[in-house]
Chains A and B, each alone.
Chain A
Amino acid sequence: MPYGPHTTGDRERMLATLGIDSVDALFADIPEALRASPLDLPGPEPELELAARLQALAGRNRTDLASFLGAGVYRHWTPANVDQLLLRGEWYTAYTPYQPEISQGTLQSIYEYESLLAELVDLDVVSASHYDGAAATAEAGLMTCRATRRERVLVSKAVHPHYRQTLAAYFGGGLELDEVPLVADGPDAGTTDLAALERLLADADRPVAGVIAAQPNFLGLLEPMTEIGRLAHGSGALFVSVVEPVSLAVLAPPGAYGADIAAGEGQPLGIPPQYGGPFLGILASTDALVRQIPGRLVGMTSDVKGRRAYVMTLRAREQDIRRDKAASNICTNQALLALAASIYLATIGPHGLRDVAAQGAARAARLEAALAAAGARRIHPGPYLNEFAVHVPDARAVHRRLIDRGILAGLVLGDVLPDEPSLADGLLVCATEVTTDADIDRFAAGIAAELVSHDVAATSGSAHHSQVVEAAR
């Protein structure tokens, strides 16, 4: 059965029309050394055997773990209608249409997404959409440079390390990116250092285009966003807030504390934490920056007969028209995922979203108490929402051993922030509304057992180590 669109006969006719004798001749301009070498793939296999092999590979995934891993991607309960509606055939061409107004349903779905998110972030304009939170954050940084005609951006070190890496990649072409350090100790430990920010902004020779901070920050802590925004604006810079959308049901939205741009990861809105994505980049701005925001914008209008109609608007900023001078050429519309977010938000509604955020915070408070009783205390004293860092001696080894106990103990902070000594023995853990009491108890018991064995091993030497671990079990 042929799966390809062209038969051998089709190909021969096309080659004859072109006056060449093989497809390879079309690639003659590419030097031999740069051409793709043949892929090292095994031969075809019968479907039954292939399915069995793939199932065996999939079986190596650990889906049985009690997970406390967040760090930018969060588990939530997704109402069954989200996936069911996504399966409808009408959405299979949800990708940005290039003759847009003929696809009113698709445009309406994008309009709904933009309207829902605009309400959530309390800003005027939302574009649909971006690859992920990291790409959206990097685009926000570029927007501040275009809008202010300055070439230097400050990013808080408490912004997700992957987002900062992506920013650095986007800024590698000649723009400057400086990091604002964290407060080392005291009541504000782990949040953006405002005094350092003020110093970085004061360099008159290197004016700052934008200041980027996250709420909650990567360590789960709440940042003084109003203050950060005031400092940014005081030196003529724009203020970018990196947000987690569920948190906005209970925290002040970016528009309320003067942010000019909001960026963030839309995955918590009805999208499962799939390995490696796909994700959904949220990007929003004030009306003043509408011409700088990359991505699709859909507006509502009326047609010649006065009926409600949707249009793709301000398209001239975009790559299909403006080519190399487009607002962005690293841009896509994650339309199906934006649709998932819209269905999720419309299904659970504003009160439901508040419940999700509040329950996550309540579960996290219980997690904090259970871990503290087990001997793993928080590293930072400041307020958090549903994610926080705990101190666990020999964190990396404990994390590895807890997997054997069926527990995914969050993220080893030393792996992602190796230059922060205060986080060297830190685990970043989170809870959401799907975190159960049983999971929390299992985690706390596992930590208690590991810490007991660690103490004994530290005082009596390693000879007794395995016996003590056994006893603790």
Chain B
Amino acid sequence: MVPPELRYTKDHEWVRVEGDEATVGITEYAAGQLGDIVFVELPEVGKTLDQFATFGVVESVKAVSDLFAPLSGSIVAANDALAGSPELVNSDPYGEGWMVRITLSAPDEVDELLDAAGYDALIAAG
């Protein structure tokens, strides 16, 4: 069971919405599928993104994957700790392994995302 208070994308990002800000990371399932994560490339603070635009790259020992912004907005923070400790994405994907915080420009987009039950169904279907 994934954390019930979060929303999810089909590309395996999670979002924690608090007011007009959202924190974004990748799910435990995604981190497990990628294997040991060795590098995370994140955007500069201030960059604006459209929903589902590429905002960064996550690299594991076996693959490199793009990161997609679940919601439109501008970057207000990126998790600098991941530069030196990318393994936080594996060990604590919903906590210390967060990636960016976004100030939302279209909060209604949240309704388009999966809830926990929907995401659970997605990964159960493989």
* Besides A291-B59, A316-B63, 5 other A-B contacts (C-beta < 8 A): A149-B44, A316-B59, A316-B60, A316-B61, A325-B64
Does A162 sit at the interface, judged by CB under 8 A?
no
Q: Do A321 and B63 have beta carbons less than 8 Å apart?
A: yes
Give the distance in Å from the alpha carbon of A186 to the alpha carbon of B44 in the complex: 44
Taken residue by residue from 281 to 304, chain A's Cβ proximity to chain B (1 for < 8 Å, 0 otherwise) reads as 000000000010000000000000
In the complex, number of A-B residue pairs with CB atoms less than 8 Å apart: 18
Complex interface: chain A residues within 8 A of B39 (CB): 291
Q: Helix, strand, loop or mixed for chain B's interface?
A: strand
B interface footprint on A16-29 (CB within 8 Å = 1, 0 otherwise): 00000000000000
Give A100 Cβ to nearest chain B Cβ, in Å. 14
Show 18 A/B contacts (Cβ-Cβ < 8 Å), sorted by A: A149-B44, A291-B39, A291-B41, A291-B59, A316-B59, A316-B60, A316-B61, A316-B62, A316-B63, A316-B64, A317-B59, A317-B64, A321-B63, A321-B64, A322-B64, A325-B57, A325-B64, A325-B66
Within 8 A of A (CB), among B40-67: 41, 44, 57, 59-64, 66
Which B residue sits closest to A326, measured CB to CB? B64
Residues of B within 8 A of A (CB): 39, 41, 44, 57, 59-64, 66
User: With the chains together, A325 CA to B58 CA distance in Å?
Assistant: 13
B63 cross-chain contacts in A, Cβ below 8 A? 316, 321
Residues in B whose Cβ lies below 8 Å from that of A149: 44
Closest Cβ–Cβ distance, residue A190 to chain B (whole Å): 39
Q: How far is the CA of A31 from the CA of B41 in the complex (A)?
A: 43
Closest to B61 in A: A316
What is the minimal beta-carbon distance from B55 to any residue of chain A, in angstroms?
13
CA A436 – CA B55 in complex, angstroms? 60
CB distance from B48 to the nearest CB of A (A): 14
Chain A residue numbers with a CB within 8 Å of B62 are 316
> How far is B44's CA from A321's CA once the two chains are assembled, in angstroms?
26
B62 to chain A, nearest CB (A): 8
* Chain A residues, Cβ within 8 Å of B61: 316
Q: Chain B's nearest CB lies how many Å from the CB of A140?
A: 20
Query: Which 9 A-B residue pairings sit nearest by Cβ, starting from the closest?
Result: A316-B64, A316-B59, A322-B64, A291-B39, A316-B63, A321-B64, A149-B44, A321-B63, A317-B64
Q: CA separation between A322 and B63, bound complex, in Å? A: 8
In the bound complex, how far is the Cα of B65 from the Cα of A322, in angstroms?
Answer: 9
Nearest to B64 among chain A residues (CB) is A316
Q: Tell me, rounded to whole Å, the shortest Cβ–Cβ distance linking A227 to chain B.
A: 29
Those of A295-327 within 8 Å (CB) of chain B = 316-317, 321-322, 325
Cα-based distance from A149 to B57 in the complex (angstroms): 15
CA distance A300 to B14 in the complex (A): 37
CB-based nearest B residue for A316:
B64
- In Å, the complex CA distance between A291 and B40 comes to 11
What's the nearest-Cβ distance from chain B to residue A102, in Å?
A: 18
Q: How far does the Cβ of A287 sit from chain B's closest Cβ, in whole Å?
A: 13
- Report the Cα distance A123→B41, complex, angstroms: 23
A317's nearest neighbour on chain B, judged by CB, is B64
Assembly CA distance A325 to B63 (angstroms): 12
Q: In the complex, what's the smallest C-beta–C-beta distance from B46 to chain A, in angstroms?
A: 11
Q: How far is the CB of B23 from chain A (nearest CB, A)?
A: 23
| Interface hub of A149, A316, A321 (most chain B Cβ within 10 A) | A316
- The interface residues of chain A lying within 8 Å CB-to-CB of B44 are 149
How many angstroms from the CA of A178 to the CA of B113 in the assembled complex?
45
B67–chain A nearest beta-carbon distance, Å: 12
In the complex, what residues of A have CB within 8 A of residue B64's CB?
Answer: 316-317, 321-322, 325
Quote the shortest CB–CB distance from B25 to chain A (angstroms): 20
B95 to chain A, nearest CB (A): 25
| Nearest CB of B to A289, in Å | 13
Instruction: Tell me how far the C-beta of B80 lies from the nearest C-beta in chain A, rounded to whole angstroms.
Output: 15
Give the chain B neighbours of A321 by CB distance below 8 A.
63-64
Closest to A323 in B: B64
Give A222 to B57 CA distance when docked, in angstroms: 41
Enumerate chain B residues within 8 angstroms of A317, measured Cβ to Cβ. 59, 64
User: Which of chain B's residues have a CB closer than 8 A to the CB of A325?
Assistant: 57, 64, 66
Complex formed: what's the CA distance from A321 to B63 in Å?
Answer: 7
Residues of the B chain whose Cβ atoms lie less than 8 Å from the Cβ of A316: 59-64
Minimal Cβ-Cβ distance residue in A for B59: A316
Which residue of chain B is the closest to A318 with respect to CB atoms?
B64
The minimal Cβ–Cβ distance linking B42 to chain A, given in whole angstroms, is: 12
CA distance A463 to B59 in the complex (A): 76
Complex Cα spacing A321 to B60, Å: 12
- CB-defined interface of A316-353 with B at 8 Å, one 1/0 digit per residue? 11000110010000000000000000000000000000
Chain A residues near B59 (CB, 8 Å)?
Answer: 291, 316-317
Minimal beta-carbon separation of A294 from chain B (angstroms): 14
**Shortest distance between the CB of B69 and any CB in chain A (Å):** 17
Give the chain A neighbours of B57 by CB distance below 8 A: 325
Complex: how many Å from CA A321 to CA B57?
Answer: 14
Which residues of chain A come closer than 8 Å to B41, judged between CB atoms? 291
Interchain CA distance A453-B63 in the complex, whole Å: 70
Give the distance in Å from the alpha carbon of A317 to the alpha carbon of B61 in the complex.
11
The residue in chain A whose Cβ has the minimal distance to the Cβ of B43 is A149
Contacts of A322 in B (CB 8 A): 64
Query: In the complex, which residue of chain B has the Cβ closest to the Cβ of A321?
Result: B64
Nearest Cβ in chain A — how far from B44, in angstroms?
Answer: 7
Closest to B44 in A: A149
Smallest CB separation, A356 vs chain B (Å)? 40
Give complex CA distance A34, B44 in Å.
Answer: 45
Complex CA gap A317/B60 in Å reads 11
